[in-house]
Amino acid sequence: MSFANEISPSFSSRTSATGSGWHGPDPSRIDAVIDRALADQRLVGAVVLVAHGGRLVHRRAAGLADREAARPMQLDALFRLASVSKPIVSTAAMVLASQGRLKLDDAVTRWLPDFRPRLPEGSEPVITLRQLLTHTAGLGYRFLEATDDGPYARAGVSDGMDCSGLTLAENLRRIAQVPLLYAPGTAWLYSLAIDVLGGVVEAASDAPLGDAVRKLVTGPLEMHDTGFFAARHDARLAVPYVNSTASAPRRMAGATVATPFEGAVGIRFDPSRAFDASAFPSGGAGMVGSAGDFMRLLETLRSGGSPLLARELVNEMGRNQTGGQGPADAPGYGFGLGFSVLHDKEAAASPESVGTWRWGGAYGHSWFVDRARELSVVAFTNTLYEGMSGRFVADLRDAVHA
């Protein structure tokens, strides 16, 4: 079976793109971007997959999965997914919605009766599942706080990438203790909302989150390498590295704090969490998987959702639900149900089509789906934060669209 057919059961037929005269990505441009990032020591290793018109048109494993052991990156490498977990768990919730077991505008308390965070003045607003999916629920992230003495830090909340020793129920209890940052539905802030959504998926499925995600998403799509931990010390798991302005990226040898944004205290990483089957299943950050597996999911959604979802539900996921509100560092992007959605090309200074889906992961990943051009692109790297939000991400985008 070809690698293309391994990615998705429907990943075989090619159709024309937009009729605009654009004939698809130029592999040489993509390779040039990868080569330059490796030569500049901005990345240690990467797996890049590009699908166009339903076919895999470019695939490359480049650089090193383990620099110190001189282990080359392989196409089937495993990665700590960080926030690439979010669209997987969001899709699981949407499958439950398609089955009538969840409704997007249900109150979270229908499924998590004790999850009742309050506004600073003491009132208890209703939070809906749609607000969780769009990051408009009023929640935040510990890593976005300005100091180690912020409200989430004082509550002992885990962002899902450290070895906290907490259960999911206990982490949700701690999140609910922290006052909301704004009234639900009135603003946008990246948050622990998908961890809360994971608790809802558990309750609605009457199963642990890992089992629920396997039954609803990864099992049907044969994403066999994707789950909430690596089953063993799998040699395919890439070693993570952290960018340094003064030298080559440094190996993340143990628990590490690294900040993606100026003014934020930073994410608490512990790479050993990937091997800990007892770590709570963080719907927002806790999964492990491969680029090929994730491409299966993207292509399933891009092509209409079968066998997971009806097309109208995929369209709802990919609709900008937040108007002009969205990530402060990504002008022109709003948010759908599980990922950002481009609504203003000029503001974003992007060649992508309006409606393009995009997000990434803090361990060094980015991905996008341009449905108008029938494109799905996955770029998993082992180097943070270059692979998530550095020059490489924009260069790859531009090379694919050139």
- pLDDT digit string, tens, across residues 253-278: 899 999 988 899 999 999 999 999 99
Q: Does the pLDDT at position 172 exceed 90?
A: yes
What pLDDT is recorded for position 17? 42
DSSP-assigned beta bridge partners for residue 361: 365
pTM of the model: 0.95
Q: Extract the tokens encoding 71.
A: 């282990």
What pLDDT is recorded for position 349? 95
Q: Which is it for strands 241-242 and 383-384: parallel, antiparallel or unpaired? A: parallel
Name 250's Cβ contacts closer than 8 Å, sequence gap at least 6.
Answer: 241, 242, 244
What pLDDT is recorded for position 170? 98
Q: Extract the tokens encoding 90.
A: 């969001």
Q: Extract the tokens encoding 257.
A: 């704090």
Q: Distance of alpha carbon 356 from its chain centroid, rounded?
A: 15
Rounded to 5, what percent of the chain is helix, strand, coil?
30, 15, 50
pLDDT band (50, 70, 90) for residue 248: very high
What pLDDT is recorded for position 20? 54
pLDDT digits 0-9 by tens, 214-228 = 999 999 999 999 999
Could you give the percent of the chain with pLDDT greater than 90?
90
pLDDT digits 0-9 by tens, 90-135 = 999 999 999 999 999 999 999 999 999 999 999 999 999 999 999 9
The CA distance from 87 to 11, in Å, is 20
The CA distance from 141 to 138, in Å, is 11
Amino acid at 37: A
pLDDT digits 0-9 by tens, 328-362 = 989 999 999 999 999 999 999 999 999 999 999 99
Name 125's Cβ contacts closer than 8 Å, sequence gap at least 6.
Answer: 118, 119, 138, 180, 183, 184
Domains in the chain (CATH in brackets) are 3-77+223-235+288-401 (3.40.710.10)
Q: Which are the catalytic amino acids?
A: 83
Amino acid at 230: A
Q: Does the pLDDT at position 234 exceed 60?
A: yes
Name 375's Cβ contacts closer than 8 Å, sequence gap at least 6.
Answer: 17, 25, 50, 51, 52, 368, 369, 400
Q: Which of 225, 226, 206, 274 is nearest to 91 (CA)?
A: 226
Q: Does the pLDDT at position 279 exceed 50?
A: yes
pLDDT digits 0-9 by tens, 280-296 = 999 999 999 999 999 99
